[in-house]
Amino acid sequence: MKTILITGGTGLIGKALQEKLASKGYSTTILTRKKSENSSTFYWNIDKGIIEKEAVQTADFIIHLAGAGIADKRWSKKRKKILINSRIDSTKLLFKKVKKLNPKLKGFIATSGVGYYGATTSEKIYVENDFAANDFLATICKLWEKESLKFQNKNIRTVIFRMGVVFSNKGGALKKISTPIKKGYGAIIGSGEQYMPWIHIDDLCNMFLEAIDNKKLKGIYNAVAPEHTTNKQLSYKIATILKKKIWLPPIPSFILKIILGRIAMILLKGSQVSSKKIMETGFQFKYVKLNKALKNLLN
């Protein structure tokens, strides 16, 4: 039985992934900042450079999801530092401990984001070998991936998924978008023409499983559904499924910028991102089309 060590295991993706792995017969352990007597959890403290050594020694694979929430708070200087350090320092710590305690680790599976390509709206379809943009989100992703790829340099098979917006019925972005529509006060954001690369959480979890089982998977892959969707298309499809109408005028960009600060760029900008590379490995999406994904999650 393979043992999968997960960081960020208590988050939206981590919880879903644990359920998926358990259903496939994997043993899972998680790293947590709170000490516990639970045999499946291990303590770590990134600031102090601490990880319980058994967590690393017993792992066949590590899935690294940990990182402070990008959209949880306004981007003050302090918050920006937290967003970067929570990703970079945690990856550095894992790498240091793996070198010392588990040189036979079979694989390291990390996450990044489509923010790598920058907060921009264009008709270009971005692929994995495109250069990183120069804005804050892109910088986070670029630095994060650089640390993760150090595992690959030590001959540990490394897979990095640049995730789009993850849709789930347990919370996250879809709930935030659909709740106002459900209550009758939903609205298009900005121009509505900005693309929103998305992925159903089941497909994302299946990608992680594929990364464990398929030894041919290595390097960087976009974790996004094949269908390109704008904010306007998404909003109207949600409204149709919920049998609601969007009657309010679009929310002006300047209002969002006043309310959210620089975080607003996440909502106001977005380009198309290709899933061709992951599909060429043989991976098959269950939810290719947005309509099918939304019906599954909203019904």
CATH of the domain at 46: 3.40.50.720
Q: What is the 3-state secondary structure (H, E, C) of the chain?
A: CCEEEEECCCCHHHHHHHHHHHHCCCEEEEEECCCCCCCCEEEEECCCCEECHHHHHCCCEEEECCCCCCCCCCCCHHHHHHHHHHHHHHHHHHHHHHHHHCCCCCEEEEEEEHHHHCCCCCCCEECCCCCCCCCHHHHHHHHHHHHHHHHHHCCCEEEEEEECEEECCCCEHHHHHHHHHHCCCCCCECCCCCECCEEEHHHHHHHHHHHHHCCCCCEEEEECCCCCCEHHHHHHHHHHHHCCCCCCCCECHHHHHHHHHHHHHHHHCCCEECCHHHHCCCCCCCCCCHHHHHHHHHC
Predicted confidence band of residue 89 (pLDDT cuts 50, 70, 90): very high
Residue 244 located in a structural domain: no
Residue 125 located in a structural domain: yes
Higher pLDDT, 36 or 244: 244
> pLDDT tens-digit profile of 266-288?
888 899 999 999 999 999 999 99
Residue 128 located in a structural domain: yes
pLDDT of residue 71: 84
Residue 42 located in a structural domain: yes
pLDDT of residue 258: 78
Number of structural domains in the chain: 1
- Find the range with the poorest average confidence among 11-15, 32-36, 238-242: 32-36
> pLDDT tens-digit profile of 136-175?
999 999 999 999 999 999 999 999 999 999 999 998 999 9
pLDDT of residue 239: 96
> pLDDT tens-digit profile of 197-252?
999 999 999 999 999 999 999 999 999 999 999 999 999 999 999 999 999 998 88
Residue 247 located in a structural domain: no
pLDDT of residue 229: 96
Alpha-carbon gap, residue 72 to 75, rounded angstroms: 9
Residue 251 located in a structural domain: no
pLDDT of residue 50: 94
Predicted confidence band of residue 102 (pLDDT cuts 50, 70, 90): confident
> pLDDT tens-digit profile of 39-58?
789 999 999 999 999 999 99
Residue 177 located in a structural domain: yes
Structural domain of residue 148, as residue ranges? 3-234+256-298
Residue 245 located in a structural domain: no
pLDDT of residue 299: 86
